[in-house]
Every structure is written in structure tokens, then in C-alpha cells.
Chains A and B, each alone.
Chain A
């Protein structure tokens, strides 16, 4: 990890540790736990989209596979949650491999199409395979996660655990980005032909990063299942995959920090809107929950219009107000092979 990123990582760790001392209400801690799940999936997706330049509209399906594997194995077969999570990861590796091999060989938007179809299929299986997945009624009685025999009961405990996993994921992601593999991926993003001529095995790189990003999603799904103690197909529809892509795009495609900020921002936005409505109610303005969609849409529109590079890069450039600083601050962008 390089200077600026390690400073950022340090700030992240400090924030993770400090926040429960400032926010003492379990409810908000719970909201941040859900934000952590989205962050985890988005970091993986950012590696794939921002660095390797491949779009996947199917990561919600990997989240679902992780969640369902954990849910089924722990509640029906009484497996240890950790073993079940590992099993979910293995299944996702196999699935991502068999999906990625044919789709990633093709150029253009075939991966997006294949993953979109895949997300749909997984959702249908979750709904229709009643004996296995419980169908629309879902799976109840999923146990909590334990850490060395110590069950993570409170929201704060789960908060620390899930955000530690996020911090670990950020650490892994940055090390990957700044390694030979990362530079190879950036080269592929710039120009596949050029990268290929330099001796980079394009398909192999793409498949590897696709699998890694799927694994991140799978773990996020398992953690979700252990936190909710209940899963059903509802949250794992195609729209969840689209939401993950939106989070990464809103935050900033080309930077891990961007994905993190996008995931946090869009996870907290509904809470913010609910605050807004409380506040307006106090002022005597009748705010309908239906307006949420309008506000949500406008915010996305404004970000995409005025900060097309995402919140992270956009804010960085706005704060500095100068192109020369922008180049420096956006950090790794300058080093990217164009």
C-alpha cells in the first residue's frame, strides 16, 4: 500500500474503532452493519469494474449463493457457521469459474448480459426450489456467528466484526491493485490488444479477478444471513445487483475508496431521507414516503450529471478546484495505463 492510500486506510481503521463511541444507538450501528455488507460486495465489484473494466450485473446472485449456502447448511444440517461460509465461498468459486470462462473470453458486454441472466436464474431457483431454499417463505432459525466460541450477540460486536472484514478486504484490494496482477488488470482496462501484446494472459486475469470479486460478494451474503438470522429471495433480486453496480458507479469506478464511499452513501441515503421526513414533519410540512423515490432519483441524477467520475473523484476535484491538484489527489489514476 502506498503513502496516500495507507493514510486513508489508517483513517478508515480509526473511524471504524471510534464510531461506536460516538454513535451509541444500536439502531444506527445496525444500519452501519448493513452498509458494511454492501461495502464488501462493492469492493469486489470495483476490482472487476474499475480495474479490469468488466461489468457484472450479477453480483447480487453471488451474495445470494453465499447467504443461502450459509443459511441452509447451518439451519438444516447444523453446520458450523464458519464452515458453511467457507462452503459458500467454494461453491461461488466453482460457479464464477464456469460462468466466467466462456463469458470473459468474449469481448464487449457479454459478461454483463451473462451475469444479468445468471442473477435472474439464481433468484428464480431461490423462489422455486421450495424444498431446498424454503421458497418465498425463506429460511428461519439461522444461528449467529461465533468467534472462538464467543457468540456475536450485540449489534456493536457484529459491527466491529463486519467492518474488520471490510478493512481486511480493502487491504487485500490495495495490495492486489499495486501488484503485478493489478498493473496487468489496468493494462487490460486500457487496451486489451496492447496488454495482450505485452504478454498478459487476458482471459486468465479476467477470470481470476471475477472469481475474487464473487468471493467477496459471497462472504458478504453469508454475513448478511448470520446477522439477519432469516433469509428469503426478496433482497436477492436482479435489482440488488443493479444497486451494487450503482453504488460503485456513484462512488467512483476507478478507486477502491470510491466504491467504499458509494456503498456507504447509498446504504445511508434511505436513513437520511427518513430523517428528512421527520424533520419536515416537525416543521409542519407533510412529507410522503413516496417522495423518497423522487429525492433518491434526483440525487443520483445530480451526481451523474455533475460528478460523472463518481463522488470520490468529483469531490476531490471540487475541493481542490484545480486540475493539477486533481491529478495528484486522484492518486493511482495518474499511474494507470491509458
Chain B
């Protein structure tokens, strides 16, 4: 009997924990969910994304909201973890009644939430890179993504190699959703460019030394190396290469697009070449580029508010939230109407000029990339 009382009281305690007051808001508010990896190993993605989303919401609400409706963001932290991401998305849909979701930050977490999205018919604009998130498009009716395509990134890298006459290359990829998707694309597109992959190595997101993999690559006689990853471990590769006195050119993916990665690589990072959005080298974008105005205004706002350099990833949150806000302005917060509106969006963003269509839920092409180089701890546009 006593034990029964004890268990019942435990049950009541748990129930009480659930009944904490909700944040009441006016019914006319537009509720938008954000799912970012604010902490954890992908925090260099999630933090600028959260900052950007909060900044934009503040700006919109200060200017009177969207057609008079206040924009309310519900920001959830996935810590880059799948179970948490699924829980967060369910919470946003079922508890916070959001009309659309932006995020998750990572490819793995984006893939994990797809079944929930497909079932609940809420549009999702992912901030993650892997192309499988939006292909095949018939199965991804409710899903869009704003980062550039990984296949386009591979093509830009191979274009550059072809121009330099490099044929034998090695690839080293992170064992994450983003890394694995990149590895597939690198191998698939190599034939098209008659590029020969002589070594194919991987490393875990928490690894601290890649010397063993790099030695194999060195012995395989590769003339260039592609390092494809999204987490901080990618910055160890250039350091290990320097220790091994490897002087072959190092290419990174668009997952290198936070200056913190270049800073972490230190002096060894000098000369790294990677395809990136124009946001990372705003100063060198010509005035007549359609993106110039957006890039300059976002960069200035972000750096003024947060006192740190902009990154590709914050730009993804900028693009996804503005695409959504524009749709909200036009059709209100009905999820189905929002989805149809997003599918026909033309938008000039930080990652490129978006042209979504029923057959393309990414909307960017390979012109969205600029080949960038690390020079003295800064990103500069690579001159041919």
C-alpha cells in the first residue's frame, strides 16, 4: 500500500511537471518553429542560425509584424542529436502549433525528422546541405532546403581541378550525414570529370588525429585532397598535413563556411580552396551582382548585433526565414498554402538566387558558389 502511494505520488509529480503554464500569445500571432543544433559538436552551425533568426524576428516585430501579425519564434536545440530533433519537431507541431519549421542544421537530423514532417503536413525548410533531404522530390512534398547542393559543390571543385590538370585525387570525409552524402557525390561525379580517386578515407566527428589516414593518402600518390565535413574535426586535417609535410592542394567542402574553421586550422589553413557562398567574401563581390545588397545588409546587421563574423550557416537561417516570411505575407499561416507558395518562390538570398519549383526544392544552381581561398585567416575569392 505504501509503495502504491509512493508510485502514485511519483506519477502525480510527473504530471505536475507537465502542467507548467504555457506561454500565452495572441491568437493572431504567426508561430514559426526553429530547430537548430545550438549546442553540441555542430554549434558553429546552430548558434549563428539561432542568432540570425532572433535578429530577423526582432526586426520584423519592431516594424509592426507581418501584415500586423506578430512573428513568434519557437527555437529548439537539437544538440545535433536525432532523437532530440524528432522530439523537438513533434513538440513544435503538436504543442506550439507552428505553421512551418526552419532547420534542422544538420543533414542527419534533417533526415530523421522527414517521416514526422511527411505525416503532419507542415512545411519544413532545412538548413542542411545533403541533397537527399529534398530528393526524390515526389517523396519530399513538404520539404525544402536553402543551402547549395552538394553535387554543385563537387562540380565546382572538379572544375577547378580540371583547370589545373589534376587527375589523381584522394578524398577524406567525415562520418556524418553531410560527410557521407558528400562522399557519394564525390565518387559518383568523378567519372564525369575523368578524375581518379586513389584513396578514400573517413574520420569520426569526434576524432582528434587523422595522421593514419593522411599517411595512406600520401603513399597512394594523390595530387590533391578533398576534405568533406561539417564539424570542427575538419580543421585537424590541414594541421596534420602540415606535420606530415604534405604540400598537395587541399580542397574543403561548403561545410567549411564559418571563419572559425579557418581560425581553428591556424597557419596550416593557408591556401585551402573551397566552394562557398558569396556571403563569406562580401567585399570582393562586384556591385552589379544581384546578391550584393542582401549580403552587405545581412553582414552589417549580424556583425553589429553579435560582434562576430558572419558565416554561411547564419545565412541559411536568413534565407529560410525570409522565404517563409514572404510566403506568410502573401498567403497567411495555413500550412498547405504556405507550402504551395514556397514552391513557387523566387528569392535573392545570401546563398544565391533561389528559384524553387515543383521539381526543384533546393532552387540553387552551381553559380551560387564562388571558389574561395583561405589567405592569412580570411576568406578571399580565388582568382584564376
Complex Cα distance, B2 from A257, in Å, reads 14
Contact across chains for B18 and A137 when beta carbons are under 8 A apart: no
Asked whether A232 and B87 contact (CB < 8 A) given A25-B95, A137-B177, A279-B20, the answer is no
Offer 22 A-B interface pairs, CB within 8 angstroms, sorted by A: A7-B3, A8-B7, A19-B15, A22-B15, A26-B94, A127-B202, A136-B174, A136-B175, A137-B108, A138-B177, A140-B114, A228-B112, A232-B82, A232-B112, A257-B3, A257-B7, A268-B14, A272-B17, A274-B76, A279-B20, A290-B39, A331-B3
Identify the closest chain A residue to B11 (Cβ): A15
B1 within 8 A of A: yes
Give B175-194 as 1s and 0s: 1 = Cβ < 8 Å from A's Cβ atoms: 11101110000000000000
Chain B residues closer than 8 Å to A268, beta-carbon distance:
14, 17
Contact across chains for A230 and B115 when beta carbons are under 8 A apart: yes
Q: Which of B20, B83, B111, B202 contacts A34 (CB 8 A)?
A: B83
Asked whether A138 and B6 contact (CB < 8 A) given A230-B82, A272-B17, A289-B38, the answer is no
The 5 A-B residue pairs whose C-beta atoms are closest, nearest first, are A229-B115, A136-B180, A27-B94, A289-B77, A11-B7
B212 within 8 A of A: no
Q: Which of B190-222 contact A (CB under 8 A)?
A: 202, 204
Contact across chains for A27 and B90 when beta carbons are under 8 A apart: yes
Q: Which of B30-57 contact A (CB under 8 A)?
A: 38-39
Give B107-120 as 1s and 0s: 1 = Cβ < 8 Å from A's Cβ atoms: 11001101100000
Complex Cα distance, B83 from A230, in Å, reads 10
Chain B residues closer than 8 Å to A34, beta-carbon distance:
83, 87
Besides A26-B90, A137-B177, A232-B82, 11 new A-B residue pairs in contact (Cβ under 8 A), listed by A number: A5-B3, A26-B94, A30-B87, A128-B175, A128-B202, A130-B180, A229-B115, A230-B111, A270-B84, A278-B23, A329-B3
The binding surface of chain A is classed by DSSP as: helix
Chain A residues closer than 8 Å to B14, beta-carbon distance:
264, 268
Chain B residues closer than 8 Å to A4, beta-carbon distance:
2-3
Q: Which of B15, B90, B108 contacts A138 (CB 8 A)?
A: B108
Chain A residues closer than 8 Å to B162, beta-carbon distance:
none
Complex Cα distance, B23 from A128, in Å, reads 45
Complex Cα distance, B10 from A11, in Å, reads 11
B91 within 8 A of A: yes
Q: Which of A19, A26, A136, A290 contacts B177 (CB 8 A)?
A: A136
Q: Which of A254-295 contact B (CB under 8 A)?
A: 257, 261, 264, 268, 270, 272, 274-275, 278-279, 281-282, 289-290, 292-293
**A residues lining the B interface (CB < 8 Å):** 4-5, 7-8, 10-12, 15, 19, 22-23, 25-28, 30-31, 34, 127-128, 130, 135-138, 140, 155, 228-230, 232-235, 257, 261, 264, 268, 270, 272, 274-275, 278-279, 281-282, 289-290, 292-293, 315-316, 319, 329, 331
B244 within 8 A of A: no
Chain A residues closer than 8 Å to B115, beta-carbon distance:
140, 228-230
Q: Which of B7, B38, B84, B175 contacts A15 (CB 8 A)?
A: B7
Chain B residues closer than 8 Å to A137, beta-carbon distance:
107-108, 111, 130, 132, 177, 180-181
Chain A residues closer than 8 Å to B77, beta-carbon distance:
289
Complex Cα distance, B324 from A305, in Å, reads 50
Identify the closest chain A residue to B10 (Cβ): A261
Contact across chains for B4 and A11 when beta carbons are under 8 A apart: yes
Complex Cα distance, B6 from A329, in Å, reads 11
Contact across chains for B4 and A10 when beta carbons are under 8 A apart: yes
Contact across chains for A127 and B204 when beta carbons are under 8 A apart: yes
Contact across chains for B2 and A329 when beta carbons are under 8 A apart: yes
B8 within 8 A of A: yes
Complex Cα distance, B77 from A74, in Å, reads 31
B81 within 8 A of A: yes
Asked whether A316 and B90 contact (CB < 8 A) given A7-B1, A234-B81, the answer is no
Contact across chains for A11 and B90 when beta carbons are under 8 A apart: no
Chain A residues closer than 8 Å to B94, beta-carbon distance:
25-27, 30
Asked whether A230 and B114 contact (CB < 8 A) given A235-B81, A275-B17, the answer is yes
B170 within 8 A of A: no
Asked whether A289 and B3 contact (CB < 8 A) given A11-B8, A136-B177, A230-B114, the answer is no
Chain A residues closer than 8 Å to B6, beta-carbon distance:
315-316, 319
B86 within 8 A of A: yes
Contact across chains for B83 and A23 when beta carbons are under 8 A apart: no
A19, A27, A278 interface centre (most CB from chain B within 10 Å): A27
Complex Cα distance, B135 from A137, in Å, reads 14
Identify the closest chain B residue to A224 (Cβ): B83
How close is A105's CB to chain B, nearest CB, in angstroms?
33
Q: Which of A228, A264, A290 contacts B82 (CB 8 A)?
A: A228
Contact across chains for B39 and A23 when beta carbons are under 8 A apart: no
Contact across chains for B7 and A23 when beta carbons are under 8 A apart: no
How close is A290's CB to chain B, nearest CB, in angstroms?
5
Complex Cα distance, B18 from A136, in Å, reads 35
Complex Cα distance, B83 from A30, in Å, reads 11
Identify the closest chain B residue to A124 (Cβ): B204
Complex Cα distance, B15 from A272, in Å, reads 11
Complex Cα distance, B1 from A331, in Å, reads 12
Chain B residues closer than 8 Å to A127, beta-carbon distance:
175, 202, 204
Asked whether A136 and B3 contact (CB < 8 A) given A28-B18, A268-B14, the answer is no
Complex Cα distance, B84 from A42, in Å, reads 20
Contact across chains for B90 and A30 when beta carbons are under 8 A apart: yes
Asked whether A232 and B108 contact (CB < 8 A) given A8-B4, A275-B20, the answer is yes
Q: Which of A31, A233, A261 contacts B87 (CB 8 A)?
A: A31
